[in-house]
Structure 1
Amino acid sequence: MKNWIYAALAALFATGCAPHGGYTLTGEVPEAWEGKPVVLFTTDAGQAEAIDSTTVANGKFRLQGVLDAPRNCRVAVYLDPENRLDRNLTVTFPVFLDSTAVNAVCDASKSDPVFSLAGGATQTEWQAYRAALEPLAEERNRAFRDYVEAFYNGGDEAKGIELARRVDEKAGLIRDFKIAYVREHPASAVSLAIVQELCDRQSRLDRAQMESLMDALAPQARESAAGRYAAACIRDKRIVEGQPLPDLELPDAEGVVRRVSDFIRPGHYTLVEIWASWCMPCRGEIPFVRRAYDRYHRNGFDVLYVSIDSDAGNWKQALGEEKMPWPQLLDTGRTSFTTYETSAVPTSILVDGEGRICRLNARGGWLDGVLEEIYGK
């Protein structure tokens, strides 16, 4: 099946990167949006950059301009022009633009408007790639649903560990598919977007694998604005399995400033968990971390929690309610988000006795599975 998919995609996009030059993006939206501003942003080279804008007229909009390479973009329609920061009053959709025309049609019949896109060489390629990937993604999602049912709802730890490993296997097949796509379409802007996705944040690729993927891209892709940004992100990336965990200085519950490295001991494994008192998944995970801690702490398993609560009172109240037996640090400025390259809680990182990252996403069945491998059942 995989070979057939690759062959079909190769036949569709044998020309490689879509031609550069002028783009055209037309849109059809509700007439109630008359006069609303429409802004086009590039999103593939760091911070979003507005490159074009227009307004809705007679239920339609049109954006035209020139790009020096196909770009991964996002369009925003501001339903309240005076309040552009309110996400509930902003409708957005992603789109790949090159020198071919794309048309976007909005279905506003539901509470969240949805855009359907047609046309455009690179956009069409992206949609074909996503369609080919969908069966693998559904297998992974199905395995994850089974895992949640067994581990959290069914209380079956052994089956949960087994299913967590199955989820990893399915995720590995997805990574293999993406890597193969990049190597078979080295000049494609879609391939560059895949590289950025595979190397982003809590990536399971090591640095050598990331650099190999960048090297697989054609020169015009590597030398584009998005390509240069991707290369810089890989070069500067700190949260990579096998690499040292960056250090942080933060106050503990008594106000004493401590280092994260103070809690990493030779010969021990330490779970560093970024959490918050208001985060229900974080709170829901605590009993499972406690179970692992009670079972393996005597063997050398330690835990350190770093809260991003902005209100120290709420944090201390949660500490009193949860009565966790491991140390706690408070990060009101959320420096841990930047340092540990995340934007969400919970974020779980397992490090070894030398402070090297040995497992990302170390929670639930994944944490139990790794600890079982280290310490035995």
Structure 2
Amino acid sequence: MKKLLTTALTVMAAISMQAQETAYKITGTVPASVSKVYLYVMGQRAALDSATVSNGKFELSGKQNLNEIFMLDANNEGMAFFNDGTPVDMNLVNYTMAGSDLNKKLFECSLPLKKYDAATSEIYAEYEKVARDNSEAGKAKAKALAERFNVVRDSMLNDMLNIIKTNKDNLIPAVYLSQIYTALDYNELKDLLSPSAPYYNHPALARVKQQLAAFEKRMPGKMFTDLTMNDTEGKQRKLSEWCGKGNYVLVDFWASWCGPCRQEMPNVVANYEKYHAKGFEVVGVSFDNSAEAWKSAIKSIGMKWPNISDLKGWKCAAAPLYGINAIPANVLLDGEGKIVATDLRGEDLGEKLKDIYGF
């Protein structure tokens, strides 16, 4: 009986999986320079399908999960659409699409974003020319280009957010949230990831949900989680040696190989020197693999505060405990060891400490 029940459940599971599979047929027109097109599932590196272009035309067909997000790549020129069972015909020469109402709407949403492709390509091309120029003029040009890029990026993020917010009644947010979630804070993600939203259970949002869960592990009001790692002398230390002892402590997650971490460190050093005499402490938790690189960075940066690491890189024990999936990151703890703020960088760190210490 047990064997029969197991067999029946297996068959039912197979039927269910097959029911989720939906046939796709994709045809299109591409520029003369394109000889082959590739079809990807969003978030996967390996191509799902490909087709040789003949006289500017191509055709793809097969089966894939219902409403999977496809990305068509034609010499880095692409288009996203859902596998919803309606054939898609696209033209990457004059940018038109025929398909379901959902895919036509997604296509219309993507058109205003095309301008950012040209803008970022132009900035990258200029940056490559000055990236190795260590002269003052070269550094100034590189800085100006970085600032231009930030303006373009912020504008694009705002446009994508608007697309998400105006399409909460359909699946389109799954396409854009999966692209910009790392730039959003907890409150933004929480608002956009309502369990009642029609896109909430889309597979493309798995990492977005992980990010939200990561934020929730270090929300203000929660007590710090203790960590046991070695210091630079190889001695086993615990966070609880410094945290919850009556003083404010910044637990700073970083790595010697992390460029943004290194850029932020002068700011951390300045605030440490300003407030340490008042009891402010910093504890560095490194995501390094190399002890030599870790110790060298501590010395060159001028970190006078305690530093600990398990030298396991992204397998660092702090990652799951504090929901760290990007660095730099930090948590500011009060005297009791409760989290009062997270990811304080730049002026935000100084302003928070000024509020605490009064100067």
TM-score w.r.t. length of structure 2: 0.62
Contact preservation (8 Å) 1:182, 1:216: no
**Inter-partner Cα distance in structure 1 for 2:343 and 2:275:** 19
Residues 229-268 of structure 1 aligned to structure 2 (within 5 Å): 234=212, 238-242=216-220, 243-268=222-247
Q: Residue 24 of structure 1 aligns with which residue? A: 26
Which one of the candidate residues 207, 215, 221 is aligned to 2:195?
215
2:295 matches 1:299 = no
**Alignment equivalent of 1:103, drawn from 86, 90, 94:** 90
Q: Which structure 2 segments of 5+ residues have no match?
A: 1-21, 98-102, 117-139, 141-150
Which residue is 1:285 aligned to?
Answer: 264
1:72 maps to which residue?
69
Please give the residue correspondences for 1:79-228 in structure 2 after superposition, counting only pairs within 5 Å.
Answer: 95-98=80-83, 99=86, 101=88, 103=90, 105=92, 118-119=96-97, 120-127=103-110, 174=158, 178=161, 184-193=166-175, 200=181, 203-206=184-187, 210=190, 213-218=193-198, 221-226=199-204
Cα distance, 1:287 vs structure 2: 2.4
Secondary structure of the residue aligned to 1:255 is coil
Name which one, 1 or 2, has greater alpha-carbon Rg: 2
Deviation of residue 75 (structure 1)?
A: 5.0
Task: Report the Cα distance in structure 2 between the residues aligned to 1:254 and 1:30, rounded to whole angstroms.
Answer: 62
Aligned pairs for 1:335-354 (under 5 A) are: 335=316, 336-354=318-336
State the alpha-carbon separation in 1 of the partners of residues 105 and 336 from structure 2.
45
Q: Offset at 1:367?
A: 0.7
Instruction: Give the residue type in structure 1 aligned to 2:268.
Output: V
Offset, 1:247 = 4.2
Letter in 2 for 1:315: W
Q: Aligned residue for 1:364?
A: 346
Residue type matched to 2:90 in 1?
N
Aligned counterparts of 1:29 and 1:250: Cα–Cα separation in 2: 56
For residue 25 of structure 1, report the CA deviation from its aligned partner: 5.9
> How many residues are matched?
291
Alpha-carbon RMSD across the aligned residues, in angstroms, is 4.4
Which piece of structure 1 moves more, 188-197 or 288-297? Answer: 188-197
- Report percent identity of matched pairs: 23
Distance in 2 (alpha carbons) for counterparts of 1:306 and 1:342: 11
Which has the bigger relative contact order, CA under 8 A and spacing at least 6? 1
TM-score by length of 1: 0.59
Spell out, residue by residue over 1:62-119, the C-alpha distance to the aligned partner (whole angstroms, 9 max, x if none). Answer: 4334555434344568xxxxxxxxxxxx95856233435263749xxxxxxxxx9653
Q: 1:269 pairs with 228, 231, 248, which one?
A: 248
2:318 is aligned with 1:325: no
Alpha-carbon distance between aligned partners in 2 of 1:259 and 1:351, rounded to the nearest angstrom:
15
The reply on whether 1:376 has 2:358 as its aligned counterpart is: yes
Residue ranges of structure 1 left out of the alignment (5+ in a row): 1-19, 78-89, 107-115, 134-152, 154-166
* Aligned equivalents of 2:228, 2:183: Cα separation in 1: 22
